């Protein structure tokens, strides 16, 4: 694989695709550019209108997802919750609260579509994925295989209905060889890549492979967070900085078909390393569940509601009630993942994130 020399920096977010910051130099397909796709400035949906006393008020919106069934999911990092609205903007409920236990969020949470009626919530402060269903109140903590915690803290990629594991950095390094220069990029569900090239975030071009298919110009003070096949979802700020979640529709020609297949479900890492790291994150959840009922962490692994994979064991090294540290071990090879919770971790570690070594 040729390593592109033009990529200067790379940052991932827990969204349908990714955010890229690149310093690339490529010419457009033509001087005239692609055709303009008309944007209808009458919102399809708007939530958070401050002139309406019954409308939702947001603390700090960190991400938004419009689901195929019409449900709007808003990640409010200020409230440490996911707010749900129906296709008319009427509230459907609130999921989550501030904290570090199951069903709680503590960081700059972001969203990805996991199914037609569910979103995955990424909390980077806890290196944890949770699943929020539209119709159910409970929040499920998802097992994952995000690789090294230092990389996972910056985010991951989500495609289709799966979480992309450790091969994601290699995938991203390859993208620069085949995709256009960009400041920001999103991938919609039809596999069109939406590219931004101006700092004001107003002009966006849709690419199928290296060919630009169309272009839309967004309103001033509008920050897109998701592109759908014929809609864009984002935040619109008024003159004093108050924000609403607004969905616009645009006219996409029927004959625009991406040159590659729709992105499918990504594989979950089933390697020894990925499986053990996932199990260690499950151990954190199990300890939090124990703490919720007993008021303290336990030093006995067999008292946790946790089933380790065959050939792997969890050893809790010590626990003083409010803090614990432990290790997961693969019996046959000695591969080990360590974890600190509630304690100051060693240099180079992050609390609550597994670190692995032979």
Which comes out higher in pLDDT, residue 322 or 16?
322
Asked if 211 and 281 sit in the same domain, the reply is: no
- Residue indicated by tokens 């569940």: 289
Taking the C-alpha atoms of residue 43 and residue 37, their distance in angstroms, rounded to an integer, is: 16
The answer as to whether 4 is a domain residue is no
Asked if 107 and 209 sit in the same domain, the reply is: yes
Q: What pLDDT does residue 153 have?
A: 35
Q: Are 179 and 186 in contact (CB under 8 A)?
A: no
What is the average pLDDT score of the chain?
A: 75
The answer as to whether 259 is a domain residue is no
Q: What pLDDT does residue 46 have?
A: 93
Q: Are 139 and 129 in contact (CB under 8 A)?
A: no
Asked if 242 and 318 sit in the same domain, the reply is: no
Indicate the SS3 state at residue 286: helix
Q: Residues near 356 by Cβ (< 8 Å), separated by ≥ 6?
A: 273, 276, 277, 335, 336, 337, 338
Asked if 322 and 282 sit in the same domain, the reply is: yes
Run of H or E residues at 156: none
Asked if 161 and 236 sit in the same domain, the reply is: yes
The DSSP output letter for 228 is -
Which of the listed ranges 231-235, 280-284, 322-326 does the model predict with the highest average pLDDT? 231-235
The pair phi, psi for residue 234, each rounded to 5°, is -170, -165
Share above pLDDT 70 across residues of the chain, in percent, rounded to a whole number: 71
Asked if 246 and 336 sit in the same domain, the reply is: no
Of 27-31, 87-91, 114-118, 338-342, minimum mean pLDDT range: 27-31
Query: What pTM value is reported for the model?
Result: 0.60
Q: What pLDDT does residue 100 have?
A: 83
| Alpha-carbon 249 to chain mean position | 24
Q: What is the CATH number of the domain that holds 13?
A: 2.120.10
Total of domains in the chain: 2
pLDDT digits (tens, 9 = 90+) for 170-206: 444 445 455 555 556 777 878 788 888 776 678 898 8
Domain hosting residue 307, numbered range:
272-357
Q: Are 132 and 73 in contact (CB under 8 A)?
A: yes
Q: What pLDDT does residue 266 have?
A: 41
Structure tokens given for 91: 């509230």
Q: Are 180 and 220 in contact (CB under 8 A)?
A: no
Asked if 277 and 240 sit in the same domain, the reply is: no
Asked if residue 264 has pLDDT above 90, the reply is no
Asked if 230 and 281 sit in the same domain, the reply is: no
pLDDT digits (tens, 9 = 90+) for 51-108: 554 456 787 898 999 998 899 999 998 889 999 999 999 999 999 989 888 788 987 8
């Amino acid at each position: 694989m040729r390593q592109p020399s033009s990529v200067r920096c790379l940052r991932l977010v827990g969204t349908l695709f990714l955010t890229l910051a690149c310093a690339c130099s490529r010419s457009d397909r033509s001087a005239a550019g692609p055709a303009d796709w008309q944007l209808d400035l009458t919102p399809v949906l708007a939530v958070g209108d401050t002139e309406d006393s019954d409308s939702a008020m947001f603390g700090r919106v960190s991400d938004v997802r419009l689901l195929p069934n019409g449900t709007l999911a808003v990640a409010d990092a200020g409230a440490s919750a996911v707010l749900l609205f129906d296709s008319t903007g009427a509230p459907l409920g609130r999921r989550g609260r501030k904290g570090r236990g199951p069903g709680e969020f503590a960081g700059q949470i972001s969203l990805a579509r996991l199914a037609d009626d569910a979103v995955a919530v990424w909390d980077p402060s806890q290196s944890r994925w949770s699943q929020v269903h539209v119709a159910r109140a409970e929040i499920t903590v998802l097992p994952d295989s995000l690789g090294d915690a230092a990389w996972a803290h910056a985010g991951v990629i989500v495609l289709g209905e799966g979480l992309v594991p450790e091969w994601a950095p290699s995938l991203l390094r390859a993208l620069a060889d085949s995709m256009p220069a960009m400041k920001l990029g999103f991938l919609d569900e039809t596999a069109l890549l939406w590219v931004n090239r101006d700092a004001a975030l107003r002009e966006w071009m849709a690419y199928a492979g290296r060919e630009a298919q169309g272009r839309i110009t967004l309103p001033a003070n509008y920050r897109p967070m998701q592109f759908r096949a014929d809609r864009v979802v984002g935040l619109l700020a008024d003159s004093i900085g108050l924000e609403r979640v607004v969905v616009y529709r645009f006219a996409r020609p029927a004959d625009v078909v991406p040159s590659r297949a729709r992105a499918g479900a990504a594989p979950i890492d089933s390697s020894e390393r990925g499986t053990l790291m996932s199990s260690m994150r499950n151990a954190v959840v199990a300890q939090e569940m124990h703490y919720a009922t007993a008021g303290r962490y336990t030093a006995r692994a067999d008292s946790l509601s946790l089933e380790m994979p065959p050939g792997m064991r969890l050893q809790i090294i010590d626990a003083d009630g409010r803090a614990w540290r432990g290790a997961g071990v693969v019996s046959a090879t000695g591969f080990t993942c360590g974890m600190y919770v509630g304690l100051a971790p060693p240099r180079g570690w992050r609390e609550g994130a597994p670190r692995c070594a032979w």
